[in-house]
Amino acid sequence: MKRSPRQLRQLERSQLSRRGFVAFSGLFSSMVLTSQHVNADLAVNLNVNPFTLGVASGDPDHRGFVLWTRLAPEPLEPSGGMPIQNVEVHWEVATDEQMKSVVASGTHVARPALGHSVHVELTNLKPDRWYWYRFRCGDAESTIGRARTMPHPDSQPEKVRFGVTSCQNYEQGLYTAYEQMAKDELDLVFHLGDYIYEYAAGRNGKVRTHHGQEIMTLDDYRSRYAQYRSDPLLQNMHAQCPWILTWDDHEFDNNCAGEISEQKDVDPVDFMVRRANAYQAYYEMMPLRIAQMPTGSDMRLYRSAQFGQLANFMVLDTRQYRSDQPNNDKKSPLNEAAWDKKQSMLGREQRGWLSSQMIQSQANWNVLAQQVMMGTVNRSGDNENPQFSMDQWPGYLYERKQMVEFMRDRKIANPVVLTGDIHTNWVNELRVDDRNEGEATVATEFVATSLTSGGNGTLKPKRLDAVLANNPCVKYHNAERGYIRCEVTPKQWKSDYMTVDEVTKPGGKTFERASFVVESGAAKVHNA
């Protein structure tokens, strides 16, 4: 395979650089893990509220979930304005909103090495129940959050309701959609990446302004997350129900591919040090289990969540292990580079894990929650001059073909793909070859638009008629902002495309633009 100049530059320095960074990663990881065993300083005097970033829960199973907060009395300051010492944080879980019937409680040590973040993993709760929780630090008390456990793996739930969102650029819009999402009475939220944007202040818009320059250091990433998490609508939605999150590129660096930067002159060691900073800040700021704690520049984020026998959610990471985008990451025809057998979006280990998950699943619906569009869509709408995104699955066609064939041949029950990234809404029927309308539909893909990224959208995207006419897999396309609200039963999957009429100023309204249904046993989609 002929390598691009970008790849050659990386290879020239990668072996020595990689050895040096591995040594750095090992030292960093040992420092963080060692800090887990340091005794807490019992007394700390905080003159202001340390719970400015709110509370959250995440990664639920039938025994419990993760409770999260981070102590940050001055959230945009280095270290959140906290002293460099360990601090005890008390937590409580109750069966009522008034926190009178406490069923679990304890103390967690918030350490400077992890930005005074708190991750409490609960494992002894009852399945399929709602709980309420709060934190205390000194005389300060957090808001009360709500979380739920998943049904028992052998149970047969009647339904699950969840939201799907991604791409919430702080500078380009207000988080108005979360106001409606909080009213939707959801069991879960799936956030599919681009939770933050790494760009310098003022680059992306004037609705709101990022704090600081393009983020590089650990303090930079911490401050950027803190700025996003200071938004009251985002905080409130995190407090409503558990979130299951994965990243895309902007949590680290735009269009990154594995260990390769899109920039031409980035030193590989500097790039991996920056990735270690990004990954640690991501862990610190998300309700993730200790199994997801990064080891230097590596962090296993792919994992699964089971809602009884109703749905098996397989959460993927399509950034950390992927090959470099072919064709210099430019929209291109489906040429030899796009079909290269060595191209991988998932990497060998994650791909094997996914195959095993699908084979072993006994769920009625098998759901891939991932980042980039799987539908092979000619974005130009012109079959004489086809243009496919090389950053999405069309740039990794051989692996995509194998995956869809696997679902078809192994008769995986009701596969559904949930996707973010693209800042537009799509409904796609997935085939081994999406361009061949005569092939059987294997799976359905629901693509959520951005929550804010891109500013106010439009009802009718450019070239809409041509895109629909020349892409038989595409059943719906829309360029407004919003999210997807899903309700799933053993017999039917329903996706409501919730759109916002205004994100660049207050007062926007969120409403149901379109709804689509997939019947169990039939991958084809139709209007609700």
Measure the CA dihedral 490/514/177/422, to 10°. 90
As a whole number of angstroms, the distance between CA 515 and CA 528 comes to: 5
**Contact between residue 102 and residue 93 where contact means Cβ atoms under 8 Å apart:** yes
Q: Is the pLDDT of residue 42 over 60?
A: no
Question: Whose structure tokens read 């696997």?
Answer: 406
Percent of all residues in the chain with a pLDDT value above 90, rounded to a whole number: 88
Phi, psi of 217 (to 5 degrees): -90, 170
**pLDDT at site 8:** 47
Mean pLDDT to the nearest integer, 469-488: 97
Q: Is the pLDDT of residue 41 over 60?
A: no
Mean pLDDT to the nearest integer, 455-460: 93
425 - beta bridge partners?
Answer: 478
**Contact between residue 271 and residue 6 where contact means Cβ atoms under 8 Å apart:** no
Mean residue pLDDT across the chain: 92
- Tell which wins on pLDDT, 45 or 266: 266
- Tell which wins on pLDDT, 36 or 55: 55
Question: Whose structure tokens read 């650990």?
Answer: 218
Tens digit of pLDDT for each residue in 253-274? Answer: 999 999 999 988 899 999 999 9
**pLDDT at site 13:** 41
User: Cβ atoms within 10 A of the Cβ of 264, count?
Assistant: 8
Please report how the helices 268-285 and 5-35 are oriented relative to each other, as an axis angle in degrees rounded to 10: 40
As a whole number of angstroms, the distance between CA 44 and CA 139 comes to: 10
**pLDDT at site 28:** 46
As a whole number of angstroms, the distance between CA 410 and CA 429 comes to: 18
**pLDDT at site 78:** 84
Question: Lowest-confidence range among 13-17, 162-166, 359-363, 522-526?
Answer: 13-17
Q: How many CA atoms lie within 13 A of 478 on its CB side?
A: 25
Q: Is the pLDDT of residue 99 over 50?
A: yes
Confidence grade of residue 316 (pLDDT, cut at 50, 70, 90): very high
List, in order of start, the domains of the chain with CATH numbers.
55-148 (2.60.40.380), 160-527 (3.60.21.70)
**pLDDT at site 4:** 53
User: Kind of pairing, strands 474-478 and 188-191?
Assistant: unpaired
Q: Is the pLDDT of residue 18 over 60?
A: no
Question: Which stretches of 363-509 are assigned E, i.e. beta strand?
Answer: 365-369, 415-419, 425-430, 443-447, 474-478, 481-488, 492-500
Per-position DSSP letters for 192-220, written without gaps between them: -S-SS--PPTTSS-SSS--SSSS--SHHH
DSSP class of residue 372 equals S
**pLDDT at site 326:** 97
Confidence grade of residue 24 (pLDDT, cut at 50, 70, 90): very low
**pLDDT at site 3:** 52
Query: Ramachandran region of residue 205, left (φ > 0), alpha (ψ -120 to 50) or beta?
Result: left
> Which residues have C-beta within 8 Å of that of residue 501, sequence separation ≥ 6?
480, 508, 509, 510, 511
Tokens of 89: 């944080």
**pLDDT at site 71:** 98
Confidence grade of residue 359 (pLDDT, cut at 50, 70, 90): very high
Consecutive H or E run containing 518: strand 510-519
Q: What's the whole-model pTM score? A: 0.93
As a whole number of angstroms, the distance between CA 500 and CA 27 comes to: 47
Q: Which of 451, 505, 499 is nearest to 175 (CA)?
A: 451
Tens digit of pLDDT for each residue in 404-429? Answer: 999 999 999 999 999 999 999 999 99
User: Cβ atoms within 10 A of the Cβ of 464, count?
Assistant: 16
Report how far apart the first and last C-alpha atoms of the chain are (Å, whole number): 47
As a whole number of angstroms, the distance between CA 267 and CA 17 comes to: 9
88 - beta bridge partners?
Answer: 109
**Contact between residue 380 and residue 387 where contact means Cβ atoms under 8 Å apart:** yes
Tens digit of pLDDT for each residue in 117-172? Answer: 999 999 999 999 999 999 999 999 999 999 999 999 999 999 999 999 999 999 99
**pLDDT at site 383:** 87
As a whole number of angstroms, the distance between CA 388 and CA 386 comes to: 7
Question: Lowest-confidence range among 4-18, 88-102, 502-516?
Answer: 4-18
